Structure 1
Amino acid sequence: MTENVPVVSSRGDRKVTERNRRSHMRALYSKLSSLVPRQTSREVVSVPDQLGEATNYIKKLQIRLEKMKEKKLNLMGTGKKRNANESLTNNSRGIIRGSKSPKVEIHQMGSALDVSAITGLDCQFIFNEFIRILHEEQADIVNASYSVVQDAVFHTIHCQISEFGNRSERISERLKRFVYGSGAF
């Protein structure tokens, strides 16, 4: 004798499964919609329109990201759109070469340290690197500023250092090594 085994997936089971799938998709659409900025928030937007808005928003973000990456490369001196007069590279040893060589002067007066640098417009990232190095050396920055005059940038940093050993000499060495390389000064 053979027994009849009831069919597991009845019509009711398929309806429940489909209802759960739709519910899950609505929740995902809602989540996606909440992540996309909308011009008018009171208007009900259809699911295809939500997907279109999300697609456009993601494309705009991708374009914005590419522009920001290009801007970062240009600020770092490795941008693609640089001409021969602006060739600036920051190689792995920290040596900076460019059409306008930076000039750095460091003066110590007691526990005060003054750092002055003159660079071209294509070397503005030097200011950030100087701040980073001074911070690493635990110098307290009192004042930091820069001025742009025609095609030159004048950077000035005033800081206080504790007089432990040769800290000012070490700071001076690190800053000059960053700009000129290890054997250039």
Structure 2
Amino acid sequence: MGNLCSTLRSQLPLEYIKGKRSIPDHMKEAVNYIKKLQKNIDELSIKRDELKRNSNSSDLSSGDGDGSSSHSSTVTNCVTVLPCLGGVKVVFSSGSDDERLQLSRVMEVLLEEGLNVVSCFSTKVREKLLHTVQSEVKDFSRFDPSELQRKLNHVVMGS
């Protein structure tokens, strides 16, 4: 039993075992950690479902459902700016030949707005690329997410 408790304790992040010495304390913190992980999973599932809905609605508006593929390169893509810990997450899709140019322009706007880009990744969904850029906000008092979304929509739709 002691070995199992030791193994459990080794799996917990330091902030959950800091200063706690008894096995019941470690068990309680393990439960708290599992609850936190479950909450994170639930939040990410909701975000995933929203992105799927947004992706599906843009597919419907592009005419993908009627067998017509000639319009896929002229579809306007919208940008979603989502708050996240310490900053914002920008999500947009591109389906035209200049998706790298769109991504570059989005990065330029983020830097102009004084944001620090933390991560950027792209995923191919059907024939489109779904770009996700996470940025840190330096000064929240001077930051307007709706204005950023307006500027980014203009950049992506104007490309």
TM-score by length of structure 2 reads 0.47
Q: Which has the higher contact order (CA 8 A, sep 6+)?
A: 2
Rg larger in structure: 1
TM-score by length of structure 1 reads 0.41
Greater share of residues in helix: 2
